[in-house]
Amino acid sequence: MSNRQFGTQDPATAAGYPHPPARKGFFTDTSVCIGCKACEVACKEWNAIPEDGMALTGHSYDNSVGLGASTWRHVAFVEQRKQLGQMPPSLDHAGLDVLALAGGPDPAAAPVGLGMPAMALPGAAPAQERVPFRWLMESDVCKHCTHAACLDVCPTGSLFRTEFGTVVVQDDICNGCGYCVPACPYGVIERPDDAAVGVAQKCTLCYDRLKGDLEPACAKACPTQSIQFGDLDELRERARRRADTLHDAGVTDARLYGHDPEDGVGGTGAFFLLLDEPEVYGLPPDPVATTRDLPQMWRRAGLAAVTLLAGAIAAFAGEVRR
């Protein structure tokens, strides 16, 4: 078997669609995410996913913990003692009056007490008391890989490739074997413990909305365009320009993740602009579709089977017919 699937970059055509529409995907730009979780809510509302517990985790603002059967969009929150950009430490903002610059109310007027806790103006504290701080937020989602391990290992054909190049579970076909769960290199898909459901679940990239020429619910709801939906080729180009802009602005941490068609999953349909290492967001640094090694595994299993057969013949060597 010559892993034919690892050559292709057009999954819909490879899946047999004669004239598929342009491949669709998400570009999630975490540099403008404000952590509002509108995407999580919109996803649950549109797809009618049940709530998944109302507990507080203490992990910043993240209480939905991770992607799973009942969380198809998940916003990660990371608090870091680090500056957002690479500002020169000599730069002094003490004399900067942003309100005057913006033409706001006269800063000299006496402030009106509202009974709120007292707080100083930003930058009023002495420099040595300030700590660098940045708050990373990232809306995670199924990556809709070019080479999707979950799709490869599904024994029922429940997981399938749509004409938009996305990967979707047919929940009337899935028999809940659970094989896709350990196959996914990102830990996205999940079979819920709830026996009433019993089938694997994950993001569909709103297949039903795409069919009706609508953009997915999460992208529609995103107020800052952190989640951008569109044709994958165009999104990749847009992402490259955005990364260049950020680098020019001094945000040298910015990097694209999942945009590269040469990576272990052939590039992803949903890719990201991150501001730190992927591990910081709970993403694998170098994901590989496990089925890439499948030809080797079948060869070894075949060799082992022959070994067992030969061993059994040897065990009966010299046994006379009685």
Partner 1 sequence: MNATPVRTGRRRGHRERAMVPEAEFTSYYGRPIVKPSPWGPDIPAYLFLGGLAGASSLLAAGADLSGNGALRRPARVTALAAILGSFAALVHDLGRPARFHHMLRVAKVTSPMSVGSWILVAYAPMAGLAAAAEFRRLLPGRLGSGRVLPGLGRAAGVVAALLGPAVASYTAVLLTDTATPSWHEGRRDMPFVFVGSAAAAAGGMGMLRTPVTHARAARRMAVGGAMLDLAMSARMESAMGLSAEPMRQGTAGRFRTAARALTATGAVLGARGRASEPGGIVPGGDRAAGRFGVHAVRHLSCRPAVRTRSPLHRGTSTRTPPAELTATGSSTSYESPPGHPASRCPPHRGRRGVPRPRRPAPPAGATSPRAP
Determine the Cα–Cα distance for residues 270 and 31; give it in Å rounded to an integer.
16
x/- mask, partner 1, residues 197-236, rule CB under 8 A, reads xxxxx-----------------------------------
x/- mask, partner 1, residues 72-111, rule CB under 8 A, reads ----x-x---x---x-------------------------
Q: What residues numbered 234-273 form the site for partner 1, per CB under 8 A?
A: 243, 247, 252-256, 260, 262-264
Please say which residue, 128 or 296, places its beta carbon nearer to partner 1: 296
45 binds partner 1 (CB under 8 A): no
Least Å distance between CB 7 and partner 1?
Answer: 14
Among 224, 225, 245, 307, binds partner 1 (CB under 8 A): 307
DSSP code per residue over 76-123: EEEEESS-SS---TT---TT--HHHHTT-S-TTSPPPP-SPPP-PPTT
Please say which residue, 213 or 262, places its beta carbon nearer to partner 1: 262
Q: Which residue has the tokens 């970059």?
A: 9
Least Å distance between CB 127 and partner 1?
Answer: 21
Please say which residue, 149 or 217, places its beta carbon nearer to partner 1: 149
314 binds partner 1 (CB under 8 A): yes
Please say which residue, 13 or 290, places its beta carbon nearer to partner 1: 290
Please say which residue, 188 or 227, places its beta carbon nearer to partner 1: 188
Among 18, 124, 195, 241, binds partner 1 (CB under 8 A): 195
Q: Are 237 and 252 in contact (CB under 8 A)?
A: no
Q: What are phi and psi of 150, to 5 degrees?
A: -60, -40
Q: Which stretch binds partner 1 (CB under 8 A): 21-29, 123-131, 174-182, 208-216?
A: 174-182
Q: Are 80 and 136 in contact (CB under 8 A)?
A: yes
User: Residue 273: which residues within 8 A CB-CB, separation 6 or more?
Assistant: 27, 28, 29, 30, 31, 239, 242, 243, 246, 254, 255, 256, 257
Among 7, 21, 34, 53, binds partner 1 (CB under 8 A): 53
Least Å distance between CB 74 and partner 1?
Answer: 10
Determine the Cα–Cα distance for residues 251 and 245; give it in Å rounded to an integer.
9
Among 105, 107, 182, 223, binds partner 1 (CB under 8 A): 182
Among 32, 65, 230, 231, binds partner 1 (CB under 8 A): 65
Among 164, 179, 229, 271, binds partner 1 (CB under 8 A): 179
Determine the Cα–Cα distance for residues 33 and 36; give it in Å rounded to an integer.
8
Token pair belonging to 266:
């052939």
Which candidate, 147, 143, 150, 141, places its Cα nearest to that of 11?
147
7 binds partner 1 (CB under 8 A): no
Q: What residues numbered 138-157 form the site for partner 1, per CB under 8 A?
A: 149, 152-157
Could you tell me if residue 20 is left (phi over 0), alpha (psi between -120 and 50 degrees) or otherwise beta?
A: beta
112 binds partner 1 (CB under 8 A): no
Q: What residues numbered 12-41 form the site for partner 1, per CB under 8 A?
A: none
Q: What are phi and psi of 297, to 5 degrees?
A: -65, -40
Please say which residue, 224 or 252, places its beta carbon nearer to partner 1: 252
Determine the Cα–Cα distance for residues 236 and 271; give it in Å rounded to an integer.
9
Residue 46: what residue type?
Answer: W
**Per-residue CA distances from 265 to 22, 269, 279, 289, 309 (Å):** 19, 10, 17, 5, 36
